[in-house]
């Protein structure tokens, strides 16, 4: 089969096998040639899967630029491990070839003394140092200092010449216009520069309405701005509105992936992992989960209290216990659906905290409709279970309908209450949802049973 007919994953797997075989045979140079012919992202994927000894076999003869390309695409933890094995001089040479923001991220993961020593050896020290002043998860921590700022009085033809001479791997479709003090005044597109009269100043046709982010803005806010306004680059300004950096779309894609990963882990009741899964030790994974698991275990004891309270009812009609998993599970599922929907809507800005009552009313109607559907099926299931026992069917039908309505209502409010309290909705809502519904759903079920069956 021709390699072009394979999926990307299959192609990468085949190339990994080829490179691994070449290294195993001592053909290091051939392996390096095959690796360097690939895109940097594929190089990094294959490199990360190689055994440690083969990784060093590849790096030893690789040009500094090639090493920089691979390290830029690896996970931060993997890069930090490799960096620990390099001399300060070797690492400084590699960092000089990396994108400024990537180099700053790597230095930020190193011990401060080591980072300072390496900085003094770097040619790009002045460019990298300002990026180290900002927390990782802010606009300042995301931005790169590699951008082209145009003076407001520069002619269009000279601006185009500056772009042609600018040595950058980034592809910008618009450029930033500043005054003599570096204050951001506007934005001009490449197309505008090409179409403009060569002797027109850029200030004459630049866009004066633009979007920027303060240097201390949270990375999620930056991601929202770029998504909402369809930006490929977001200028970052300081308190005096001076341009200090640019956030590019590739960095925002990484942010969105990281945030989505964190939300999924928190929704399941686990603290987010700081490293890729296979690089995280058994102890670290356990520690990220066991705290919430213990808390939920203790919380579930309320379910035991509910069962104890209705012990007499269950003894008189043992058949009620057969439906407990069905009703409690359905309530948890309904609540989890609602919670996931509301958390996502909060995350993308579709709803705000002030919309709490509207959200509750909306979900109550949804819960009522779903409850009627599930109650009908529940009634038929219980009716058939006891050969036409209508009272049992009514008990199960009404109870499951009420539980679904209750679960969707609670599921809509928990994320909003968590957000109001300044907590992460995903961290709080997901784990609490199932625990709360278990106890309250059981109480609703057995209360309805007492009312209808008189037990």
State phi, psi for 179 to the nearest 5 degrees.
-90, -170
Confidence (pLDDT) at 305: 83
User: Based on the domain organization, do 129 and 156 belong to the same domain?
Assistant: no
Q: State the pLDDT at residue 269.
A: 61
For residue 270, pLDDT beyond 60: yes
CA distance 329 to 318: 19
Are 388 and 405 part of one and the same domain?
yes
Note whether 85 and 40 are same-domain residues. yes
**Is 142 a domain residue?**
no
Render pLDDT for 407-449 as a digit per residue (tens, 0 to 9).
999 999 988 988 888 777 876 666 677 778 888 999 999 999 9
Identify whether 86 is part of a domain.
Answer: yes
In this structure, the answer to whether residues 129 and 217 fall within a common structural domain is: no
- For residue 277, being part of any structural domain is answered with yes
Q: Look at residue 427 in the predicted model and tell me its pLDDT.
A: 67
271: confidence class by pLDDT, cuts 50, 70, 90: low
* Same domain (yes/no): 416, 445: yes
What distance in Å separates the CA atoms of residue 322 and residue 307, rounded to the nearest whole number? 13
The span from the first CA to the last CA of the chain, in angstroms, equals: 71
Rounded CA separation 352/130 (Å): 35
What CATH number does the domain containing 449 carry? 1.10.357.20
Among candidate residues 246, 278, 296, the one where a domain is terminated: 296
- Give domain status of residue 264, yes or no: no
Residues 164-186 have a mean pLDDT of 87
Closest CA to 139 of 209, 233, 266, 271: 233
Q: Give the lowest-confidence range in 123-132, 255-264, 328-337.
A: 255-264
Of residues 351, 339, 346, 348, the one with CA closest to residue 409: 339
User: Domain end: 223, 254, 285, which one?
Assistant: 254
> Which of the four pLDDT bands, split at 50, 70 and 90, describes residue 1?
very low
Assign 209 a pLDDT band (cuts: 50, 70, 90).
very high
- Does 262 fall in a domain? no
Give me the domain span that covers residue 70: 3-136
CA 450 to CA 432: how far, in whole Å? Answer: 27
Whether 265 maps to a domain, the answer reads no
Q: Average of pLDDT values for 184-209?
A: 94
The C-alpha R_g of the chain, in whole angstroms, comes to 30
pLDDT at 268: 63
User: Mean pLDDT across the chain, nearest whole number?
Assistant: 86
Segment of 84-93, 108-117, 147-156 carrying the highest mean pLDDT: 147-156
Of 192, 223, 254, the one marking the end of a domain is 254
What is the token pair recorded at 398? 């009404």
Looking at the structure, tell me whether residues 283 and 200 fall in a common domain: no
On whether both 350 and 338 belong to a single domain, the answer is yes
- CA proximity to 363, closest of 398, 405, 403: 405
Burial (CB < 10 A; 0-12, 13-18, 19+), residue 388, is exposed
Distance CA 377, CA 390 (A): 13
The answer on 370 and 442 residing in a single domain is yes
Tell me what pLDDT residue 3 has. 52
123 pLDDT more than 60: yes
The domain tally of the chain equals: 4
Q: Tell me what pLDDT residue 376 has.
A: 94
418 vs 246, residue with greater confidence: 246
- Assigned token pair, 69: 């390309």
**Which tokens is 112 given?**
């401060």
Verify that 316 and 440 share a domain, yes or no.
yes
Other residues' Cβ atoms within 10 Å of the Cβ of residue 183: 15
pTM for the full model?
A: 0.64
Q: Are residues 208 and 248 in the same domain?
A: yes
* Better-predicted residue by pLDDT, 15 or 285: 15
């Amino acid at each position: 089969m021709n390699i072009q007919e394979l999926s990307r994953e299959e192609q990468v797997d085949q190339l990994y096998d080829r490179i691994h075989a070449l290294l195993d045979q001592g053909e290091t140079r051939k392996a390096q040639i095959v690796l360097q012919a690939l895109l940097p992202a594929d190089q990094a994927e294959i490199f990360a899967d190689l055994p440690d000894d083969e990784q060093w076999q590849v790096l030893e003869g690789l040009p500094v630029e090639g090493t920089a390309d691979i390290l830029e695409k690896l996970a931060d933890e993997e890069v930090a491990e490799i960096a620990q094995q390099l001399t300060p001089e070797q690492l400084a040479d590699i960092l000089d070839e990396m994108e400024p923001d990537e180099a700053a991220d790597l230095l930020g993961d190193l011990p401060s003394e080591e980072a300072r020593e390496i900085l003094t050896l770097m040619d790009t020290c002045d460019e990298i140092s300002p990026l180290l002043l900002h927390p990782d998860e802010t606009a300042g921590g995301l931005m790169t200092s590699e951008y082209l700022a145009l003076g407001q009085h520069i002619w269009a033809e000279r601006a185009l010449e500056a772009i042609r001479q600018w040595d950058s791997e980034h592809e910008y479709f618009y450029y930033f216009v500043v005054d003599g003090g570096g204050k951001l005044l506007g934005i001009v597109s490449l197309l505008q520069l090409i179409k403009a009269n060569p002797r027109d100043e850029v200030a004459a046709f630049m866009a004066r309405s633009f979007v920027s982010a303060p240097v201390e803005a949270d990375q999620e806010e930056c991601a929202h701005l770029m998504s909402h306004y369809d930006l490929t680059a977001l200028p970052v300004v300081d308190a005096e509105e001076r341009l200090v950096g640019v956030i590019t779309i590739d960095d925002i894609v990484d942010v969105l992936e990281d945030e989505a990963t964190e939300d999924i882990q928190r929704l399941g009741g686990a603290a987010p992992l700081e490293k890729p899964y296979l690089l995280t030790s058994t102890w670290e994974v356990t520690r990220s989960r066991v705290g919430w698991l213990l808390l939920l275990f203790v919380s579930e004891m309320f379910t035991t209290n509910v069962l104890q309270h209705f012990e007499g009812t269950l003894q008189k009609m043992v058949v009620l216990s057969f439906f407990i998993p069905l009703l409690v599970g359905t309530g948890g599922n309904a609540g989890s659906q609602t919670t996931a929907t509301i958390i996502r809507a909060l995350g993308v800005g579709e709803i705000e905290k002030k919309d709490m009552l509207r959200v509750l009313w909306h979900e109550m109607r949804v819960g009522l409709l779903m409850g009627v559907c599930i109650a009908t099926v529940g009634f038929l299931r219980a009716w058939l279970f006891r050969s036409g026992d209508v009272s049992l069917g009514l008990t199960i039908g009404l109870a499951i309908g009420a539980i679904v309505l209750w679960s969707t209502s609670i599921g809509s409010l928990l994320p909003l209450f968590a957000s109001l309290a300044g907590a992460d909705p995903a961290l709080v809502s997901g784990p609490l949802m199932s625990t709360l519904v278990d106890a309250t759903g059981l109480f609703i079920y057995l209360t309805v049973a007492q009312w209808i069956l008189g037990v």
